[in-house]
Structure 1
Amino acid sequence: MSEQNYNTINDQSCGWVHTATAAKAYPRFEGERQVDWVIVGAGFTGLSAAYRIAELNPRDSVILLDAEQAGKGASSRNSGYIVDITLNDGGSTLADEQTQLMKNRLNNAGLNLLRQRVNTHDIHCDWDESGKFHCAADKRNMPKLKNFSAFLERAGLEHRLWTKNELSQRLGTSYYQHAVQTRSGVLVNPAALVNGLIEHLPKNIELFEHSPALHISNGNTVHITTADGSIKADRVILAVNALMPRNGFKSSHVFPLTLTASLSRQLSDGEYASIGNPAPWGVLSASSMGATVRLTNDRRILVRNTV
C-alpha cells in the first residue's frame, strides 16, 4: 500500500526532447474505471509491458498512467545507447563468461524486438547500427580493454581493436589511446524513440498523462487512486524505475543515481570539417566513472558524466 503527494521531477531542459518532433498530448485520468491491467509509468519499461500485453492478450483492457508527460523521464534523459554487451574485465571464470553471454543473448533479443517495432511503425529516431566504442584515455585501463577483446574473441562476438591513430581519424579527436568497438549495439535519439513507441501504442492501451498514482492498495483487486479518479484492476505493473520507494515499494532496494549531460548546438560546416567530417559515433569510457561522449548524426556533441 502506498500514498503520496506528487511533486514534478522533470524540467524542460532535455536536449533530446528539444531535438525530437514534439509529442502528442494525452488527457488526465478522470472518473472511475475497472480494467484488466494498470501500468504505472509510461517510459520504456511501461511501454514494453503494454506492447507485450497487447500481443499476448489483445482483448485485455489496459490503462497506462504517467505522473508527468509520458516518456519524458529517464527514457528520454539518457545517452541513447541500446547495448549488446557491456564492458567487463574479460571474465575470470567460465561461469562469469557464461553469465556475460546470457546477458548478451537477452540484450540482443530486446534489441531485435525494438528494431522490429521501429521498422514496423517507421519510427524516426536516428537509429544507427554502427556499434559503440569502449575507449581508454590512459594506459591504466588498456589491460581491461585487451581482456575484454580476448573474451569477445573466445565468445565469437564481432568486434574490432582500434589504435590511437585509427581512433583519431575515426572520431576526430586524439584524446583516446585505445578502443574496442562492438558491432551490434545501436545509437538512437531516445526521446524520438519513446515518442514513436507512444504514438503507435496498440488499440487496447489507453494512455493518461499528468495522472500520478497517489494511492495503491493490494488485494484480489488492486485499487489505484489518482487526483481526479480511481481505477480497479486485476493486475498492476509498477514501471517507475528509481521511483519505486515513492510508491511504497522496494524502499531498501532501489535508489536514484543523478547524472549530468550536455548536448551542444549543431557544429558548423567549418567546425565539422576541422575534425575530419567523421560519421556519427558513441564512446563509452573504460573507466567505471568516466564520461560518455557521442557525435550525433545532426552534428551535435553529447557529454554525460556521473555526479
Structure 2
Amino acid sequence: MGRPLNLWAGASVERPQLPGDRDADVVIVGAGFTGLWTAYYLARADPGLRIVVLEAETAGFGASGRNGGWCSALFPVSSQRLAALPGSSRAAAIEQHRAMQASVNEVGLVSAAEGIDCDYHKGGTVVLARTRAQLARARAEVAEAHEWGPGDLQFLGPDEVAAKVRATKVLGATFTPHCAAIHPGKLVRGLASTVERLGVTVYEHTPVTSLAPGLARTPYGTVRGEVVVRATEGFTAGRVLAPVYSLMVATEPLSAAVWDRIGLADRPTFSDHRHVIIYGQRTADGRLAFGGRGAPYHFRSRIKPAYDDVPRVFGKLQATLRELFDISPVFTHAWGGPLGVPRDWTASVGLDGGLAWAGGYVGDGVSTTNLAGRTLRDLILRRDTALTRLPWVGHRSRQWEPEPLRWLGINAGLRAMTAADLEERVTRRESRIARLMAPLVGG
C-alpha cells in the first residue's frame, strides 16, 4: 500500500507564519477543532475581539483531521464517574450528558449555517454484541443509561439490528440516535476558512515553544493577549496528556450489491462491545472507513510521522472488517495519529487567570470540542452560564507517572484489554481481566 494515505486529507489554504511580535485579546494555540470552535464562538459573540490562532503545522493536522468521523454524544468517562467529581452531583452529570447530545446537533446547525459541506448525517450509532459476554455488557449499558439519563439508549434484538446493519454473529446491539457521521477533514478545513472570514488571524507553521498566562512564545515572535488558550490535545507537552495512537483503514467505494448485503443505509456509525475499541462509518461516497486502537504508546510520549504507519495494526483492522461483514473489499487508504488521554480519562475545560485549556477527549472529541469552544467562550467573556457550571469545567486530572512507569502502564493496559477479548472468546464469559481494568479506563 505504500506510505499511509489519509482518506480525509484534501487541499487546504496556505497560511503564513507569524511575522513577528504582536498583541491580541485572545491567543489560541492549536488550529484543530478545539481551537477553531473557540475562535468561532468568540468571534461570533464579540466581532471586535482580536483573536490569533497559532498552529505548528497546518489547520486540522492532528486528530481533528484524522479521526473516525463520529460526531457523537459520547464522553470518555461514565456518568457515575462524572457525578463523583469534586463539586459535582447526579444532576450535574445528567446535564453534561444532555449538553453532549445538544453538541451533536450544534455541529450540524453551524455547518449548515456557515456553508460547510462536511457530509453531516445523523444516523445514530449501533454497537453490536457478538458474544454472550458482549451481550451482557450491552444489556447492562442500557440499564445504566436508563438510570442516569433520559433513557434514549435502546437495546436491539437481532432482527432489529438487521434493519440497520447486517453483520456476522450478531446476538443484539445497543443503539443511540445521538451521533452523526461526518467527513472530519472537510469540517476542520471549513471551520478554519470560516473563522478567517470572521476576522480571526490564523498563522501556520508556527510552533509555540512555551506558553504562560498572557503570552505564547514562538521562534518567530511572541504573541501577547489577555487570555492564552491551550488547544493542543495529543501534542500537549509534559505529563498532562499521554499521546496514544489510533489507526484507520478505508476501502474503495463499494458496489450497490455489497451495500445491499451490509445495510447501513441511514449511515449509522458502528462498533461492537469488545474491549479494544473499534469504530466505523459508511462514508458519503460509499466507502467503509474503519479504525481502532492497538498501536503502542511510545516511550516519553514521543510523536513521529513514522508512528502513523503500523502495518501489523492495519492488517488487523482489515481482517476485523472482513470478518465483521464477511466481505473482501479492496483497501485504498491507511493512516493514523495520536489522541490525548488524561490520567483519569476525564476530559476537561477551564480558565485559570490568563491561561485557558480544553482537551483530554480520549478519542471522543468531534462534538466535545464544540462544547469546549462554547464553554471557553463563556469563561473568557466572564459569562455565568449553564455551560460554565458543567462538572468537567475546572477539572484537573493528575499527571501521568514519569517514565518508564508511564510506558509500562499504558502498554500493559493495552495488552490486558487485548487479552480480555481473547479470554471472552475462549470462556464465553465476561473477562475477569476487564473487570479489574475498568476503573482505569473510564468505567
Q: Check whether TM > 0.5.
A: yes
| Superposition CA RMSD, Å | 2.8
State which of 205, 218, 230 in structure 1 corresponds to 2:200: 205
The structure richer in helix per residue is: 2
SS at 1:171's partner residue? coil
Question: Is 1:177 the equivalent of 2:171?
Answer: yes
Query: Which residue in the other structure is 2:288 paired with?
Result: 301
Task: Please give the alpha-carbon distance, in whole angstroms, between the structure 1 residues aligned to 2:226 and 2:77.
Answer: 41
Task: Please give the alpha-carbon distance, in whole angstroms, between the structure 1 residues aligned to 2:108 and 2:208.
Answer: 31
Task: Please give the alpha-carbon distance, in whole angstroms, between the structure 2 residues aligned to 1:90 and 1:66.
Answer: 34
- 8 Å CA contact 2:24–2:224 kept in 1: the answer is yes
- 8 Å CA contact 2:73–2:103 kept in 1: the answer is no
Amino acid at match of 1:211: T
Query: Which residue in the other structure is 2:382 paired with?
Result: none
Provide, for residues 8-27 of structure 1, a one-character-per-residue CA deviation record: whole Å limited to 9, x for no partner: xxx97211225xxx322222
Question: Is 1:260 the equivalent of 2:247?
Answer: yes
Amino acid at match of 1:213: V
CA gap 1:177/1:294 in 2 versus in 1, 3 angstroms: farther
- 8 Å CA contact 2:28–2:231 kept in 1: the answer is yes
- Residue 286 of structure 1 and its aligned partner are, at CA, apart by 1.8
Q: TM-score, normalised by structure 1?
A: 0.82
- Residue 102 of structure 1 and its aligned partner are, at CA, apart by 3.0
- 8 Å CA contact 1:91–1:151 kept in 2: the answer is no
- 8 Å CA contact 2:126–2:270 kept in 1: the answer is yes
Question: Is 1:121 the equivalent of 2:114?
Answer: yes
Amino acid at match of 1:236: V
CA gap 1:147/1:123 in 2 versus in 1, 3 angstroms: same
State which of 165, 173, 177 in structure 1 corresponds to 2:159: 165
Count, aligned residues:
286
CA gap 1:134/1:98 in 2 versus in 1, 3 angstroms: farther
Task: Please give the alpha-carbon distance, in whole angstroms, between the structure 2 residues aligned to 1:90 and 1:51.
Answer: 29
Q: TM-score, normalised by structure 2?
A: 0.58
- Residue 122 of structure 1 and its aligned partner are, at CA, apart by 2.1
CA gap 1:290/1:111 in 2 versus in 1, 3 angstroms: closer
Query: Which residue in the other structure is 1:69 paired with?
Result: 58
State which of 189, 192, 207 in structure 2 corresponds to 1:195: 189
Tell which deviates more after alignment, 37-46 or 83-92. Answer: 83-92
CA gap 1:302/1:50 in 2 versus in 1, 3 angstroms: same
Tell which deviates more after alignment, 94-103 or 72-81. Answer: 94-103
- 8 Å CA contact 2:104–2:178 kept in 1: the answer is no
Task: Please give the alpha-carbon distance, in whole angstroms, between the structure 2 residues aligned to 1:99 and 1:177.
Answer: 34
- Residue 104 of structure 1 and its aligned partner are, at CA, apart by 1.1
CA gap 1:283/1:99 in 2 versus in 1, 3 angstroms: farther
- Residue 32 of structure 1 and its aligned partner are, at CA, apart by 2.5
- 8 Å CA contact 2:180–2:268 kept in 1: the answer is no
Task: Please give the alpha-carbon distance, in whole angstroms, between the structure 2 residues aligned to 1:303 and 1:186.
Answer: 15
CA gap 1:97/1:134 in 2 versus in 1, 3 angstroms: farther
- 8 Å CA contact 2:216–2:228 kept in 1: the answer is no
State which of 235, 240, 243 in structure 1 corresponds to 2:235: 243
Question: Is 1:140 the equivalent of 2:130?
Answer: no
- 8 Å CA contact 1:133–1:282 kept in 2: the answer is yes
- Residue 75 of structure 1 and its aligned partner are, at CA, apart by 0.5
Question: Is 1:13 the equivalent of 2:5?
Answer: yes
- 8 Å CA contact 2:17–2:204 kept in 1: the answer is yes
- 8 Å CA contact 2:124–2:179 kept in 1: the answer is yes
Identity %: 22
Task: Please give the alpha-carbon distance, in whole angstroms, between the structure 1 residues aligned to 2:90 and 2:272.
Answer: 21
- 8 Å CA contact 1:90–1:150 kept in 2: the answer is no
Provide, for residues 152-177 of structure 1, a one-character-per-residue CA deviation record: whole Å limited to 9, x for no partner: 44533334322223323421322432
- Residue 97 of structure 1 and its aligned partner are, at CA, apart by 6.0
Question: Is 1:28 the equivalent of 2:17?
Answer: yes
Amino acid at match of 1:197: L
- Residue 239 of structure 1 and its aligned partner are, at CA, apart by 0.4
CA gap 1:223/1:277 in 2 versus in 1, 3 angstroms: closer
SS at 1:36's partner residue? strand
CA gap 1:184/1:190 in 2 versus in 1, 3 angstroms: same
Task: Please give the alpha-carbon distance, in whole angstroms, between the structure 1 residues aligned to 2:264 and 2:38.
Answer: 40
Provide, for residues 61-96 of structure 1, a one-character-per-residue CA deviation record: whole Å limited to 9, x for no partner: 11101111101210011111122245988969x978
SS at 2:242's partner residue? coil
Question: Is 1:230 the equivalent of 2:225?
Answer: no
Provide, for residues 191-222 of structure 1, a one-character-per-residue CA deviation record: whole Å limited to 9, x for no partner: 11111211211523101111111343x46x42
Provide, for residues 222-243 of structure 1, a one-character-per-residue CA deviation record: whole Å limited to 9, x for no partner: 25223x3332323211100022
Which protein, 1 or 2, shows the higher relative CO under an 8 Å CA cutoff with sep ≥ 6? 1
- Residue 136 of structure 1 and its aligned partner are, at CA, apart by 1.6
Task: Please give the alpha-carbon distance, in whole angstroms, between the structure 1 residues aligned to 2:79 and 2:170.
Answer: 21
- Residue 52 of structure 1 and its aligned partner are, at CA, apart by 2.5
Task: Please give the alpha-carbon distance, in whole angstroms, between the structure 1 residues aligned to 2:74 and 2:208.
Answer: 35
CA gap 1:258/1:103 in 2 versus in 1, 3 angstroms: same
Amino acid at match of 1:237: V
SS at 1:15's partner residue? coil
CA gap 1:175/1:17 in 2 versus in 1, 3 angstroms: farther
SS at 2:53's partner residue? strand
- 8 Å CA contact 2:153–2:176 kept in 1: the answer is yes
